Amino acid sequence: MIFILLTVVFVILRILPGNPVTAMLGPKAPPEVVKSMEAQLGLDKPIIVQFGDYIANILRGNFGNSTVTTLPVIQELEDRFPATLELTIFSMIIAVVIGIFFGSFAASHYGRAIDVTARIYSIFVYSMPVFWFGIMLQLVFGVWLKVLPVSGRASPFMTPNNLYTGLYTLDAILNGQWDVLYDAILHLILPSVTLGVVISSIFVRMVRSNVLLSLSSQYVISARSRGVKERKILYSHALKNAMIPILTIMGLQFALLLGGAVLTETTFSWPGIGSYLVERIRYRDFPAIQGAVVFFALFVVAVSILIDIINAWMDPRVRY
Amino acid sequence: MRSISKLFIFMLLILMSMMVFAVSSKDYVIVGTTDKFTSLDPAKAYEYLSVNLLQNIMTGLVTYVPGTTQIVPALADKWEISQDGLTYTFYLKKGLKFSNGDPINAQAFKFAFDRVIKLGQDPSFLLSDVVKETKVINDTTFEIDLKYPFAPFINILAFTVAYPVDPKVYPADQVYNGMPVSSGPYIVKRWVRDVEMELAPNPNYYGEPAKTPTILIKLYQDANSLYLALLSGEIDLAYRTLLPQQFAQLQQNDKFVTYVGQSPFMRFIVFNVKQDPFGNAKIREALAYAVNRHEIENKIFAGQVKPLYTMIPAGIWGSMNVMPSQDIAKSVSILQSLGYSKDKPLNITLWYTPSHYGSTEADLALTLKNQFESTGLIKCNVNYAEWATYIDYWNKGVMGMFLLGWYPDYFDPDDFVWPFLQSSASPLMGSNYSNPMMDQLLTDARLVSDEPGRTALYGAVQKLMAQDVPYIPLFQGEQQIAAKPEVGGVVLDPVQIFRYYLLYKK
């Protein structure tokens, strides 16, 4: 799959009009400079040779050097990845918490006001553009109420002293810098709420329908007949079993989450891989774009494997 | 028990927020921008923010007096130009040091110049086109020999491409991506790529020390984020680039002070004279008569640009208004004389690029379309392509008439006319304009060294341009800054060097 993706991205970039050298140098560079840059970047070779070089390098873990900064792409991605990871983790937590509580609550109150509200909420939130919601939150909490920062990962002079993981929250804890931790959490609130709320719509619907299904199953009926409390039935019996398909969906949602991260990162000037990708597309920075897309793909694959493992752990029927 | 833990958490939050706000002080100024910087190596830096940062952490042989276009010695004490205009000899100040303590001497300059030419990166042509060789006469005497006399050369030496670099740190054969070694007022103390950069004073700087101990430059993705950051108090000053409407609102807001200055940035229409019907100078002239610059200024840019009637913008010596104001009757009569009528209109396509010049670009293209069509004899289509594609199209001659902008490399009239009008340079601009008389005037203006003589020649160049109309100049940009009232030392100079080292908090 990754090989197909690599090939598709490589071909699309070459088919699109726009030369990375002229996009970078602009109108002023003389043709000799453009030619020599093309030679430096290997863009003067036949496409098939470029592709062969590219695949060979990827297999060796070399994503090439950015045409804009001349730095190794892998280094740039390493710098940016913790920001995206931190944002996605927090967004996922928000999405899952909203999804589980709202979804199971709606299922247990099937047909009542809370159920209708949950359904309207998920349709409304799903159809809401991420950047619009982000800007609205910025306006209300950043500009009018002035209680939360509107952009970036940290306030001036509030970055962790030593970066161990690149996750500001974790590094702040490891450094014992509690003020930095507080500041990093404040900065995470708006972007992760934006992304988390938008993603939560699918979870709410999934949890609701799966819990409904579980609630009508034989074991719930028998539990009820044994006089088990409704609350316990909902959270210990129905929800636990409903979680198995939801986990699978969570893995699939990760791809959507990363797509949303591109827009969220742009809205909140969040220095992750999403904003990196947008920025480098403008310059036709082939190695950087290819690197970022492959990185995203590997990330989704890794999460899918992780979800499968959790699934096996949760569902006694699954054994590898 | 539960209420005690709630109280504890509440107290902790209050304590932490106090710690956050305790950092605020007069010791730093936070500057926000939507620009990006890609390299801080003078051999590679070319886009605005990279160059502007270098202008604050490094300096060259000569520099501009803040707020003017006057060139004065910087690291050089004085200089001499030979009679034939081919040899420039610079006598350096004594005891100059880089921020790491290494000497700034003639060897460092020779290393830097040779390195720029050898690396062949983005701005290298500014030196490689004209410099024949460089010589170290002694530790403090540096000589540059030119291939041909080139009057604007001293202006190129004020640009970042001509800054010295430390030979012990910067590799001779590749671009340097590490922490810059400074020769200017500031050093880079901390740098989180694509996020922020912290500047601190350079203890070895020869000149007046920087006014503020710390400058923090924060990078934003777009104008909306920058605007919100300023409104929420996250930054002290916003420079480049807010939307016209946002800046207009800040001008009305008494919590902020706004500054407006002249900018050499200009916008214009390019005609590819090799593509029909734009090969006909009469058609280009008719289109020029149809343009209403005041409508563009007020309707699209809320009065934040200035109409431009020549290719040399105001603020650069030699500028002279030569293009006509809107005259629809004149435009109609030219078109009629060429055989166009309401039934047989002139069909043209205007190209623009949607984001490179800001979100106002589509409005600009539509306004121009309406102005052309107001003659009743023109049918104008509007087409667009994203920037990387746009450059490709103009290099391949796909577009016959398209919008473009120009920001100069050196502040001399030469840089506003030679790349556009000289026959070997104009194809790069997508125009392909060629006129032997124009070539002669442009070459003469490079050879003459006295300003009055050059002014007369550039006057003739501009008149000939207005006659041939290979371009329609539209407007000149403005530099805009919005800042908190306590920020002082904001100088907007015509050469668009923004000097962080003059900023301070009152």
Angle of CA points A152, A158, A161, to nearest 5°: 120
Q: Which of A36, A142, A284 sits opposite B388 (nearest CB)?
A: A284
How far apart are the CA of B378 and the nearest CA of chain A, in angstroms? Answer: 29
In this predicted structure, the answer to whether residue B144 has a pLDDT above a threshold of 60 is yes
Amino acid at position B147, single letter: K
Integer Cα distance of B22 and B458 in angstroms: 57
User: In the predicted model, what is the mean pLDDT of residues B316-334?
Assistant: 95
Token code pair at residue A78: 């390493």
Exposed (0-12), middle (13-18) or buried (19+): which is A59, by Cβ within 10 Å?
exposed
What is the distance of C-alpha A39 from the center of its chain? 36
Cβ of A136: how many Cβ atoms within 10 Å?
12
Q: Which residues of B touch A138 (CB under 8 A)?
A: 225, 228
Main-chain dihedrals φ then ψ at residue B29, nearest 5 degrees: -125, 130
Cβ atoms of B483 and B504 closer than 8 Å:
no
How far apart CA B316 and CA B389 sit, in angstroms, is: 32
Per CB-CB distance under 8 Å, the chain B contacts of A271 are: 192, 194-195
Identify the pLDDT of residue A320.
58
CA distances from A202 to A40, A118, A124, A250, B403 (A): 47, 11, 11, 9, 45
Confidence of residue B280 (pLDDT cuts 50, 70, 90): very high
Report the C-alpha gap between B247 and B263 in whole angstroms: 16
CB contact under 8 A, A27 and B124: no
Closest Cβ–Cβ partner in A139, A152, A266 for B222: A266
Q: How far is B343 from chain A (nearest CA, A)?
A: 36
Per-residue model confidence (pLDDT) at position A215:
83
Residues of A in contact with B404 (CB under 8 A): 27
pLDDT (tens digit, 9 = 90+) per residue, B337-361?
Answer: 999 999 999 999 999 998 788 778 9
Contact residues, chain A, for B39 at CB < 8 Å: 69-70
Residue of B nearest to A184 (CA): B20
The beta-carbon neighbor of B195 closest among A152, A178, A182 is A152
- The predicted pLDDT at position A27 comes to 60
β-pair partners for B201: B186
Q: Does A254 touch chain B (CB under 8 A)?
A: no
CA distance A254 to A232: 30
Instruction: Give CA–CA dist A109/A280, Å, rounded.
Output: 48
Per-window interface: A 91-120 vs B, CB < 8 A: none
Summarize the confidence of residues B299-311 as an average pLDDT. 93
Considering only the beta carbons, identify the residue of B19, B234, B394 that sits closest to A150: B234
* Whether the predicted pLDDT of B70 surpasses 70: yes
Q: Which residue of B has its CA nearest to A264?
A: B221
Question: In this structure, how many other beta carbons lie within 10 angstroms of the beta carbon of residue B88?
Answer: 22
**Within a 10 A sphere around the Cβ of B200, how many other Cβ atoms?**
18
Binding-face residues of A in 130-159 toward B, CB within 8 A: 135, 138-139, 142-143, 146, 149-153, 155-159
Q: Answer whether residue B486 shows pLDDT above 90.
A: yes
State yes or no: pLDDT of B15 exceeds 60.
Answer: no
Task: Output the six-digit token pair for A33.
Answer: 């400079």
The terminus-to-terminus CA distance of chain A in angstroms comes to 22
pLDDT for res A160: 87
- Distance CA(B322)–CA(B467), nearest Å, equals 9
Q: How many CB pairs under 8 A join A and B?
A: 150
Higher pLDDT, A40 or B227: B227
The answer to whether residue A225 neighbours chain B at the CB level (below 8 Å) is: no
Residues 6+ apart with CB under 8 A from A50: A14, A42, A43
Please tell me which residue of chain B has the smallest CA distance to A134. B225
User: 10 Å Cβ neighbour count for B456?
Assistant: 16
The alpha carbon of residue B141 is apart from the nearest alpha carbon of chain A, in Å, by 31
Whole-model pTM?
Answer: 0.83
Interface touch A153/B195, C-beta < 8 Å: yes
Q: List alpha helices for A177-238, DSSP H.
A: 178-215, 218-225, 230-232
Interface contact A16, partner B, CB < 8 A: yes
A275: tokens are: 């904003």
Q: What is the mean pLDDT of chain B?
A: 91
Chain B interface disruption, residue of A70, A130, A144, A268, most B CBs within 10 A: A70
Q: Looking at beta carbons, which residues of chain B come within 8 Å of A23?
A: 387-388, 391
B-chain CB neighbours of A153 within 8 Å are 195
Please give the pLDDT value at position B22: 40
Closest Cβ opposite residue B393 in set A17, A26, A155: A17
Q: How confident is the model at residue B17 (pLDDT cuts 50, 70, 90)?
A: very low
In A23-82, the residues whose Cβ lies within 8 Å of chain B are 23-31, 33, 36-37, 68-71, 76, 79-80
8 Å CB contact of B404 and A27: yes
Q: Which of A147, A157, A282 to mutate to test the interface with B (most CBs of B within 10 A)?
A: A157
Establish how many alpha carbons lie within 13 A of residue A61's alpha carbon, considering only the half-sphere containing its beta carbon: 2
* Whole-number Å distance between alpha carbons of A104 and A94: 15
Spell out the residues 6+ positions from residue B344 whose beta carbon is closer than 8 angstroms to its own.
none
Q: What is the predicted pLDDT for the residue at A37?
A: 74
The pLDDT of residue B16:
46
When scoring B29, B46, B50, B225 by the number of chain A Cβ atoms within 10 A, the one with the most, hence best to mutate, is B225
pLDDT given at position B19: 43
Taking chain A (320 residues) in consecutive chunks of 10 residues, what is each chunk's mean pLDDT?
Answer: 81 78 68 75 82 84 83 90 92 91 89 91 90 92 89 84 90 93 94 92 89 85 84 80 78 77 88 88 84 86 84 71
Round the average pLDDT of chain A to a whole number and report it.
85
**B16, B177, B409 member nearest A182 (Cβ):** B16
CA atoms within 13 A on the CB side of B310: 22
**Is some CB atom of chain B closer than 8 A to the CB atom of A291?**
no
A143·B124 Cβ contact <8 A: no
Mean pLDDT check: name the lowest of A70-74, A234-238, B19-23, B99-103: B19-23
